[in-house]
Structure 1
């Protein structure tokens, strides 16, 4: 079965929240078959820094929606945006 890599921009609820903290929460919250393969920070404005992560997961109906629900439910996450998805 094919795999997908999704790049997501994740905004914290509070500018004081460090992207590294959110990244650790994401790693803990993801199911075993999903992995963070890359991450970085993107300054937004007024001290707010977004976390940008690449997440590798299998291609399966409904799995992307499930991933986005998991990301949105993480403590300290204000909003998420899928920047790109591509098939491996």
Structure 2
């Protein structure tokens, strides 16, 4: 089975949210076969930053990336999350 790398942009609900802790909380809620392989921050506006997570997940996942967006969006401190990119890993 092939894996995909999903780029997930997570928008905090305020500039006071600790993005490292937010990434940890999201990681804890991911299904067993998902993993965060990289994280970055990206400036949005007025000191607010988005968390950009690179998540490895199975390609043939029921619900596709919608499940990933839903998991991240339901973490406390998250305004919303959206998939901004996806690529296949392996051949």
Give the TM-score category using the shorter length. Answer: over 0.9
Q: How many residues end up aligned between the 2 structures?
A: 88
Q: TM-score, normalised by structure 1?
A: 0.93
2:38 aligned partner:
38
User: Is there any run of 5+ residues in structure 1 with no aligned partner, and where?
Assistant: none
Note the C-alpha offset of 1:10: 0.6
CA RMSD of aligned residues (A): 1.0
Q: TM-score, normalised by structure 2?
A: 0.90
- Tell me, in whole angstroms, the C-alpha distance in 2 between the residues paired with 1:38 and 1:8: 11
Q: Deviations over 1:2-31 (max 9, x none)?
A: 111100111101110021111011111111
User: Is there any run of 5+ residues in structure 2 with no aligned partner, and where?
Assistant: none
Q: Deviations over 1:40-86 (max 9, x none)?
A: 11111111111000000001231322111111111111011211101
